[in-house]
Structure 1
Amino acid sequence: MIVSLVAGALWAMLPAYVPNNVAVLAGGGRPIDGGRTLGDRRLLGDGKTWRGTAAGTLAGVALAVGLNAVRTAVGDALGTTLPAFPLRAALGLALGAMLGDIGASLVKRRLGRERGAAVPGLDQLDFVVGALALAALLAPAWTPSTFSLPRLGVVLVATPLLHVTTNAGAYLLGLKSEPW
């Protein structure tokens, strides 16, 4: 039962977990805010680029398509049924994750935080909120049926742990300048 719950929750979130990591690897290029400021601060900063956002979104959608292809085999191996991703849900999760991260960057700039500064809670769950919100908008029947309250609970507990672990790994590999 617990394996099924955790596997289903993490599987359902994979298209949202991957985009920001891909954006780090594929980023660079023109910043989304074009260097614009609001008052004395940048709107977003150089870390939020068009290329990273597009690459991250495409990677999340492509991952969902790939997960659909292996869903039955993986589910059988785990002894559970894993959710399938309609294209609208995949797009909502992937693009929503990117938009959630962009929104958090905007909030951080307004708080006077520099690029890379940690804001506990916001850093770990911004993309989850964005992903689930856009998925609910684009796939309104799929989202609540896939993210039951127990699965949502798993996501809210597991995501900060995964976030801290993957960011520390990216820092150790030299892909990030901060370990958060």
Structure 2
Amino acid sequence: MLRTVVAAFWAMLPAYVPNNAAVLFGGGPTIDGGRTLGGRRLLGDGKTWRGTAAGILSGTLLALVLNRLAPRIEGRLGCTLPRFSPRAALALPAGAMLGDIAASFLKRRTGRQRGAMVPGLDQLDFVAGALWVASTAAPRWFARTFTRRTVAAVLVMTPALHVGTNVVAYLVGLKDEPW
């Protein structure tokens, strides 16, 4: 079981990092350009082109670094770690950002303001996006990497990791709310 959790964490790292990078490097023009639908912003000020690009780039670069580190780390851990195909290296972070953008769109449609908490959606939106885009862009890689047990591990560990990293970001002043 521990090997499954380690492999799941490793496989999801390129999807875990993009939202953090978007917070650190975001700002600038918003994706929605201030447009509204039904009197509400499409996405809001928190979804910017620069943040999205920084998120995708950071996750992709991390996947490439992980590919180089895997052989050294496997020996120490005693388990095999997933390698990222080029498509998977791009699909995971792009999907994570797409999932987060889709959640923002859903929040605006339901009248929630930027930063409003929606349990479940906030913790798994980027996971759903990452897994969907990766399964579409790199289906063979996805089938080898994300077994049922691996997906189950991701679904259990991600909410805890998400809450923990958001609390840390809040405490150091990078986020306005701790979720």
> 1:3 Cα deviation (Å)?
2.2
Residues 53-101 of structure 1: CA distance to partner in whole angstroms, max 9, x if unpaired?
A: 0000000000000000010111111000000001100111010000000
Name the amino acid aligned to 2:29.
R
The residue identity in structure 1 corresponding to 2:164 is: T
* 1:123-160 deviation per Cα after TM superposition (whole angstroms, max 9, x unaligned): 00000000011001110111121000111111000000
Percent identical pairs in the alignment equals 64
Partner of 1:149: 148
The residue correspondences of 1:39-58 to structure 2 (distance < 5 A) are: 39-58=38-57
Matched residues in 2 for 1:133 and 1:144: separation?
12
Quote the offset at 1:8 in angstroms: 0.3
Instruction: For 1:5 and 1:106, locate their aligned partners in 2 and report how far apart those are by CA, in whole Å.
Output: 33
- State the one-letter code of the partner of 2:121: L
Q: Does 1:164 align with 2:163?
A: yes
CA offsets per residue over residues 18-55 of structure 1, 9 Å max, x none?
00000000000000000000011000000000000000
Give SS of 1:44's match: coil
Quote how far apart the aligned CAs of 1:116 are: 0.2
Segments of 5+ residues of structure 1 without an aligned counterpart are: none
**Aligned with 1:18: secondary structure?**
helix
CA distance in structure 2 between the partners assigned to 1:26 and 1:166 by the alignment = 17
Count of matched residue positions in the alignment of Structure 1 and Structure 2? 179
Q: How does 1:1-180 map to 2 (within 5 A)?
A: 2-180=1-179
User: Any stretches of 5+ residues in structure 2 without a counterpart?
Assistant: none
TM-score, normalization by structure 1: 0.98
CA distance in 2 between counterparts of 1:109 and 1:10 reads: 30
The runs of 4+ residues in structure 1 deviating greater than 3 Å are none
Mapped partners of 1:24, 1:178: distance in 2: 12
Letter paired with 1:35: G
Letter in 2 for 1:40: G
Q: CA RMSD in A?
A: 0.5
* Partners of 2:124 and 2:143 in 1: CA distance: 18
